[in-house]
Structure 1
Amino acid sequence: MEELDVNVSSSEAFGIAEKIVLLSFISAVILMAILGNLLVMVAVCRDRQLRKIKTNYFIVSLAFADLLVSVLVMPFGAMELVQDNWIYGEMFCLVRTSLDVLLTTASILHLCCISLDRYYAICCQPLVYRNKMTPLRIALMLGGCWIIPTFISFLPIMQGWNSIGIIDLIQQRQFNKASNSTYCIFMVNKPYAITCSVVAFYIPFLLMVLAYHRIYVTARAHARQIRLLQRAGNPAEPRQGHQEPRQDHQEPRQGHQEPRQGHQEPRQHPPDQHSTHRMKTETKAAKTLCIIMGCFCLCWAPFFVTNIVDPFINYTVPGKLWTAFLWLGYINSGLNPFLYAFLNKAFRRAFLIILCCGDERYRRPSILGQTVPCSTTTINGSTHVLSFFFCQRRGGGPAAPGLAGQRNQRGCAKVPGGVGEGNALFPQSPG
């Protein structure tokens, strides 16, 4: 028992200098989370175009959950950590712990719903996306993100299901005789640890990995199609260097071919420029996926792995390690606005308008002054990649490479089938 008491009171090891550094860091995290999530919510409320995009409903609800984490959960954890004492009573300890589990789980489930929404929008046909992401289904998904966590937070914690079999151990850790301090201890037995971790982390993590893997595969497939489009759009470039000597001896024919060559040149260059831009977009999509999954795993995986392991090793994980892993998960609530909103051009424009008090320089340009190329289309507020081969099929069969640019100029069937523009994962507002 002496070893357990040492682990419980490990927070006493924090000196004055360490507490000042901790308080500064925690204050910065809380401030970043509050301001970032508030900015996301205000931007959607004020920008009518952002409200038209279905994905943004998940982003706003995610921002609200993260805002509650930063307002209702983080400050009390920071005060207990710095003061080395819990002064708010046992009942409020249970409420604060239930809110912690509820809001952090809701935040993770929102991330899972965003990945599924992007999967249907990017990897499926637009008709499938419309059928899947109806307003009713979006409302049900959002409701699930808030209702499901209550079954692993308020219900079991208030009923004491998480402490069955370990009540004596919890009571020993709640009070430290040496410093006469009380702590808000949240310990879980093996069944609750497994159930809570599976629902709150492992199932959403598995769904996110599957969804983002399919998005990555789709991005790679589009990159291959772009390379084929590049080769098909400029088939004669390698031969022109060898044909120059022959053109000197064929002056009569060349005179008749000049108008045709001059007419074909503009058809070859636009696909080249557009394919280069598209390749950059696909590469950006892959990088964004790595950043999103990397931050999510880095923030929450250590905590939930330890949450399952600790009951099976007799609750011997040091207190400092628990604190570090818990606050690493809280940091994710401050990073989410940057990962899911700040990387989006439409959100960034809305943020600049808000922060610069409606400066006209950051207003959205007029729709009349914009032209949308045939190779892209806007469906439900999302700009998606148009499949080059689908254009050929709609045109009546495989077309010659030289006619690809001609068909794109005339206008082909605009059906989205790829990764959205902007940051290649999150849709832009129309116009």
Structure 2
Amino acid sequence: MNKQWIKFIEDIKGMYGKNFVPLHEPTFNDKEVEYVTDCIKTGWVSSVGSFVTRFEEDLAKFVGVKRAVAVVNGTAALHIALKVAGVEVNDEVLMPSLTFIATANAVSYLQAIPHFVDVERNTLGVDAIALRNYLEEISEVRNSELFNKQTNRRIKALVPMHTFGHPVALDELIKLCEELNLVLVEDAAESLGSYYKGKHTGSFGKVNAMSFNGNKIITTGGGGAVLTNDEKLADYAKHLTTTAKVPHKWDYVHDEIGYNYRMPNINAALGCAQLEKMPSFIRQKRNLTEKYMQIVSKTTGVQLFNEPVDCISNYWLQTLTLDDSHHRDEILAFLNDNGVMSRPIWTPMHKLRMYQNCPKADLSVTEQLNQSIINIPSTPVSEV
């Protein structure tokens, strides 16, 4: 590799003060210890406790929705969000192929069909214009519902994903959903702290999902949440994620097939402490971005991905795009071999064995981005 990439590695190690720099690490301090210790001392460590309620209320307030239902992980949140939004067996669900596998898996859990669409370069999210043109070609409205003319299946929902925390261009997607009677379900797994035109992501869809995995901007260890402004759907999500047990002082009656998706109190305690630090985390993430702009400016053939227009991104994972994708794997090997953990973007869903026969639009941009994107260390630092 050339001297520019050697300097790139030296600058990153110097910034973090480490010889090995991981991709993303959680940041804990005394507040997390205090809240978790409280759980242990009181014995409330499992799926019931005051921290679960507090986390749900604090999260709903932060995002700007009426309700949040805490669950064990982001995939579970997506599963339940899609179910309460009305996705049924054999329905098709539109989503980007350029996403983490949880988006497609959650649809499959409902025995529905992922339907892959392309993304735009400046957001890495669903391209509304390309989607509209594609649906005009392959779909038709029957009795106020959208159907795929090629498969004869109902197209029920659209799941845009805010890639690496960068908001999708939602206005046109919302308009398209309204016109075609599609349910909008945001995959906001990566975008806590991100805003589209002043409104928090995860608050636009009928039901939405968020993740608090160990590598997210805040973590509950594992964890996720279903977000909605619909009180009835929130109650239904809560019911389903607590094994569909009918409330009773002592009796065990379950009125439908439910799921043991409850977030334990000890995990929610971590979440409460982490959520209190969000302003600081976002500030540090943005400071990190400014520093990376300086570092990347010294390296030819690569750009740092910046938040889209009219958006505020949490910059969850710092993202490089390469001018020449032929060198991607060489660069990845060099960075990782020299102590700077980095990774490519996910393999597009339509290229995975279990999803390769799913319906799909032209995915040219997806395939190009797949070969040119690299994620680099993104842990917030106190002083950058």
TM-score, length-normalised on structure 2?
0.23
Greater percentage in helix: 1
Greater percentage in strand: 2
TM-score, length-normalised on structure 1?
0.21
